[in-house]
Amino acid sequence: MGKKEETMSKKTRNYSIIYRVATIFTLCLALAACATVPLTGRKSLSLIPSAELLSLSDQEYAKVLTESKLSTDRRQIQMVTRVGNRIARAAEEFLKESGVQDKIENYKWEFNVIKDDKTANAWCMPGGKVAVYTGILPYTKNDAGLAAVLGHEVAHAIAKHGNERMSQSLVAQLGGVALSVALKDQPEATNQIFMAAYGVTANVAALLPYSRLHENEADRIGLTLMAKAGYDPHEAVRFWEAMNEKGGSRPPTFLSTHPAPETRIEKIKSYIPEAMRYYKK
């Protein structure tokens, strides 16, 4: 073997070793950064420390409220607050019974109604920061229908779906840097990733749809939460059917992040017997 071929061979071996080490490191990082989804037990990628995510959530939630017109309708406000607090207590009880109450130990629940009749949407940021747009209330119709929506959104939060989506986006778009570094070096891009990950944006085209896996988990956990809060889980079927009827060329904003095919509604029906075990009127 000539000197040139030998040098090339050494380089190839070095690259191979570096690749294997990098692969092992990545796998170790992924394993160390796993979170467990309540009820389903699935392991999910969770690269962002909760403290950093909660701090960012507080900032972005305050910004959204400042830039939005809040509803002054007392009936709407009381309904969202009433149902929201019951879902929040149900979430706390459920996680405590599951032995993972630390997942929301730093949550400070807030429920606000944003006056926007053209936007049918609702979301829950980390820390229990919740917003309901008035445009979704014609679909929820009553407390139980609203409980289906809030149970679903709180389920996304306690399952840390947003953290998983942000972790994946940081890896894909910003090279997997830490959130603090991303906010420092690319604040605008990082904030956009955060808002899209939690379904919080005025630009429907920029909304990031939840995966089928996340939706199934949020449906299943959300039904359990609404049942524990004293709402009939069957009401969730009526809500999603109402959403589906408005499918068409300009579907409600909620469907941009939470697609509702008929197969999904059938899946929800299959989760109801499990949720009914927690139901007390």
Tell me if 1 is assigned to some domain: no
Kindly state whether residue 14 falls inside one of the protein's structural domains.
no
Judge contact between 78 and 214, C-beta under 8 A.
no
Residue 193 placed within a domain: yes
Q: Enter the pTM of the model.
A: 0.80
Angle among Cα 97, 269, 241 to the nearest 5 degrees reads 120
Task: Quick: pLDDT tens for 219-261.
Answer: 999 999 999 999 999 999 999 999 888 766 567 878 877 877 7
153 counts as catalytic:
yes
Beta partners for residue 112, in sequence order? 131
Residues 6+ apart with CB under 8 A from 17: none
Q: Which of 92, 153, 164, 215 is catalytic?
A: 153
Please check whether residue 157 lies inside any domain of the structure: yes
Within-domain flag for 2: no
User: What is the number of structural domains in the chain?
Assistant: 1
Euclidean distance between CA atoms 127 and 73, whole angstroms = 25
pLDDT, one tens digit per residue, over 77-90 is 999 999 999 999 99
- Residue 169 lies inside a defined structural domain of this protein: yes
Domain of 206?
43-276
**Tokens linked to 228:** 């524990």
DSSP conformation class of 69: P
**Residue 233 DSSP label:** T
Residue 11 lies inside a defined structural domain of this protein: no
Q: Please identify every stretch of the chain with a pLDDT value under 70, giving residue numbers as ranges.
A: 1-33, 172-180, 182-183, 201-208, 247-250
- Rounded CA separation 193/198 (Å): 9
- Give the 3-state secondary structure of residue 110: strand
Residue 36 lies in a domain: no
